[in-house]
Chains A and B, each alone.
Chain A
Amino acid sequence: MTSLAYTVADSATMLRRNLKHQLRYPSLTLMLAGMPIVFLLLFVYIFGGQLGTGLGGHGAGGRGAYLTYVVPGILIITVASAALGTAISVATDMTGGIIDRFRTMAISRGAVLTGHVIGSLLQTLAVLVLVVGVSLALGFRSHASALEWLAAAGMLALFAFALIWLSAALGLAAKSVETASNTPMFLTLLPFLSSAFVATATMPAGLRQFAEYEPFTPVTQTIRGLLTGGPTGTQAIVAIAWSIGIALASYLWAVRLYNRRRATTPN
């Protein structure tokens, strides 16, 4: 086998390992899926009636209109909350003994992290399917074509990929599993400071500027445009640029942390 073939084989082995973990202990996956579904119900049935009337341009207003508005935001918060799992599983691995075993074996560099990241990505996509299913059950309807659905899925996957690498790096940077489960929490806060739940135009100055320029807004607007109609053009480009930028920076940070880790500790 060539070294590329080894890299692929080792990464696939690590991916199988991570998927087995997810299947055997589904509580983490269920927790990651539970949060956005609770938010969806909360925002549609508690806040939705009132928030919907403020939408104006989005049809007749009311709960139904707000459901249409908020689902893209819920999909974004799904991606953000699912990424939290990566930090936890990476940190669990790094603080356990098995990582030392991997390091003393001739395993392709990066296979351990690749296994985690792809495993988390598949987990996120599964959770997204579940959340879309719940949204449809609640009455969410989209006029998007198959191609637009595909584009939306691609955008979500790309953004998820970026946040998962970021979360993996945070998991590597954490000294304990407890820390790793806390540090990426800001990722679930950022969607609230974006156009995910309310239009940024309704926010006070300062906050509005922040909301308009942070990455969650262009990603949300892109998904919203694709699924419920509306402009996507420049938002999509900004969203893709943010995703690639976050993914690249986080990847480099994660690999650096992975290679440096433990080189300076006695035990």
Chain B
Amino acid sequence: MTINTSAPAISARAVRKSFGGHVALDGVDLTVGEGTIFALLGPNGAGKTTMVRILSTLIAADAGDIHVGGHDVARDPDSVRALIGVTGQFSAVDNYLTGEENLRLMADLRHLGRQAGRRRVAELLERFDLSGAARKPLSAYSGGMRRKLDLAMTLVGDPAVIFLDEPTTGLDPRSRRTMWQIIRELAGDGVTIFLTTQYLDEADQLADRVAVLDHGRIVAEGTPAELKRRIPGGHIQLQFAEPNALRAAAAMIPNATPDNDQLILQIPGDGSVASLRRLLNELDDTSIDVEHLSIHSPDLDDVFFAVTGHATTEPATGQEEKVLQP
């Protein structure tokens, strides 16, 4: 029941899964380093939940080679189960018990023993700010509290690898930030975190590495910064004080798009130092006065569109999130 330190925390090769005629996963490869946060990003129906269910031993893949903590998921699921914690998309709490009883149940099932179990439960109630509601039935819990309890239950056994399936879906902005903070702290403690999300900014905020899943295939993978750099959509924006300067600059720089009302010029580019220096030198040589310069990297919305050829299927939710999380 130990982690083989030479192996990555999670490795999956050529994972396939179909449900009837529907192909949910079509040859997925991914590797998650120990102690890192990995985000699997994709719209509803992309196969994210199926991947989590396979990695967490809930269902078997049709084909593929999957190891979690060095243990083969298909051959040795119990060793994997001893290492992992899972917080699914739908709340996995016992509605007929109190918050404290739910945690005690987990402690008993993890065989922590009476003393250690009690201590761990009290510790988690404290940490997740649930001590006040510990003895209340779950009907008195808000959505955010339930989600926190859900995660606390996952943490009772000190798992080395945690799977979080859409951990903030349906949470209000404040609970969402709390959840992000908790996830970052866990990663800081050396826990490996595999999360799925359909919120592009969430992956950007939390993940060390991101894989974009679309129709059962990984269509892009890398750090959030790498992904953004890989695609077009970045630009340099120049703000001018008067229209003449804008006109002069627009005439000089190819591919630039002027906005005459706002006196802004957009120049496509990746924001690299070399291209920036060239631009500044040209402006200097012609003595054009620039009031302000800013570099815009593409966000993951642009990434998603670029790698899949279509937007995320839930534009309304995505935009709302961007407003809520500026």
Contact = CB atoms under 8 A, between A and B. Distances in A.
Contacts of A24: 96-97, 137
Contact of B81 (A6, A21, A106, A267): A106
B109 A107 contact: yes
Interface of A: 1, 6, 9-10, 13, 16-17, 20-21, 24-25, 96-98, 100-107, 262-267
Contact of B50 (A16, A17, A266): A266
Contacts of B84: 104
A20 B101 contact: yes
B50 A104 contact: no
Contacts of B200: none
A13 B90 CA distance: 23
B97 A17 contact: yes
A98 B58 contact: no
Interface in B187-205: none
Nearest to A101: B92
Most buried by B among A104, A107, A264: A104
A263 B60 contact: yes
Contacts of B109: 10, 13, 102, 105, 107
A258 to B, nearest CB: 13
Contact of B58 (A21, A25, A103, A107): A103
Contact of A20 (B49, B56, B82, B96): B96
A105 B101 CA distance: 17
A97 B81 contact: no
Given A104-B85, A105-B81, A106-B82, 7 more contacts: A21-B97, A98-B92, A100-B58, A100-B86, A104-B81, A106-B78, A265-B19
Interface of B: 19, 22, 24, 49-50, 56-60, 78, 81-82, 84-86, 88, 90-97, 101, 105, 108-111, 137, 153-154, 157
Contacts of A107: 109
Contacts of A262: 58-59
A253 B57 CA distance: 23
A107 B106 CA distance: 10
B97 A20 contact: yes
Nearest to B87: A101
Nearest to B101: A20
Nearest to A24: B96
Query: Can you list the 5 inter-chain pairs with the closest CB atoms, starting with the nearest?
Result: A97-B92, A101-B92, A106-B81, A13-B108, A97-B90
Contacts of B105: 13, 17
Contacts of A9: 108, 111
A19 B311 CA distance: 50
Contacts of A21: 96-97
Most buried by B among A10, A13, A25, A106: A106
A100 B82 contact: no
